[in-house]
Amino acid sequence: MSSPLAMLRVVDLSTEIAGPYATKLLADAGADVVKIEHPAGGDPLRRWTASGAPLAPGEDGALFRFLNTSKRSVALDVSTAGGRERLLGLAAGADLVISLHVGKDSLFSLGEPRQQRDVVSIAAVSALISLILGIVASAGEFSHGTIGQTFLVAPVRERVAAAKLIAGAFAGFVLAVIACAFAWGLAALLLAARSVTLHLGSGSTVRVALGTILAAALTGAFGIGLGALLRRQTAAIVIALVWLLVGEPLLLGIAGVERYGPGRVIASVVEAGNQGSDLLSFGAGLSVALVYVAVAGALGTLSLSRSDIT
């Protein structure tokens, strides 16, 4: 069987980690990836090692080899007319051209604690994933017809609802801890590869990580309540996403109360004191978020207790 991307040709002008990793995924799927490097030294990542130990002449670092395996390499000096002409020829025959470079200005900005905090804050996506997992864990039992067996084993429905809320919050907590650890490690690797001074232990970065963990626990419990209330797994997920992406910014924005929407108050919890004027303070956001979770949990429990399930 042929590889899914066997007919795709990619010209890779990127350096360091992010761009080469993206093209590595394409190469792993069968794409023909041509990596363009400067004749004088090539990609700076070639000479990088985790230990800082120098490499022998002609030897490449392990991370570079991992990111650029299965690619073809072409040395071009695009500052010359001949190099540019050849590059344009390669690009003309390619389906995709990827270019991602880190310049001196962006390297300087990456040395700022605020920028490094923003890198770690990528882990905040775990709050959205926790919401979806909570919905699946709750509404999924209705979709797959297992809710009846659950109530046979545990007939007190209020206890079942409470246990699910706790489990949803705990699952969100664990997921966020893993996401933050991954984001922290990836940020440290990326910054070290660029010889940038690390500020990942700054107070603002730690607060964002802790806020993310708390927010994911809240959204996990909220998803449990929402799933129990709506009972339709796909519909509940679609409604939640449409509200967060369209409904909340549009409707609440028009009314001037967007800061009090579920998505915005969770963002206030994530920022944990680092937020701007467009968000509630951490304390206010946490209070409103707890109200949302309590209401969703109460309505979901009420729906379970009154439903006729056979």
Which amino acid makes up residue 126?
S
* 136 and 197 inside one domain: yes
pLDDT attached to residue 154 = 73
Q: Which residue has tokens 């890198």?
A: 119
* 116 and 262 inside one domain: yes
* 82 and 196 inside one domain: no
Strands 72-75 and 9-12, by their bridges, are: unpaired
Q: Which of 73, 101, 129 is the last residue of a domain?
A: 101
* 47 and 132 inside one domain: no
* 52 and 125 inside one domain: no
Q: Which of 101, 117, 150 is the last residue of a domain?
A: 101
pLDDT tens digits for 243-285?
888 888 887 667 677 788 888 899 999 988 776 777 888 899 9
pLDDT attached to residue 105 = 43
* 212 and 242 inside one domain: yes
Q: Which of 101, 122, 152 is the last residue of a domain?
A: 101
Query: Are 163 and 114 in contact, with CB atoms under 8 Å apart?
Result: no
Report the domain count for the chain. Answer: 2
Band (110; pLDDT cuts 50, 70, 90) = low
Is the pLDDT at 209 greater than 80, yes or no?
A: yes
Instruction: For residue 270, give both structure tokens.
Output: 């994530």
The DSSP call for residue 245 is I
What three-state secondary structure class fits 39?
A: coil
pLDDT tens digits for 80-105?
888 888 988 898 888 888 886 555 44
Band (309; pLDDT cuts 50, 70, 90) = low
**Which CATH number covers residue 92?**
3.40.50.10540
Q: Per mean pLDDT, which range of 108-122, 126-140, 168-182, 293-307 is the poorest? A: 108-122
For residue 50, the enclosing domain spans 9-101
* 204 and 180 inside one domain: yes
Q: Per mean pLDDT, which range of 2-6, 243-247, 301-305 is the poorest? A: 2-6
* 69 and 215 inside one domain: no
Q: What are phi and psi of 211, to 5 degrees?
A: -65, -40
Is the pLDDT at 63 greater than 60, yes or no?
A: yes
* 117 and 31 inside one domain: no
* 85 and 165 inside one domain: no
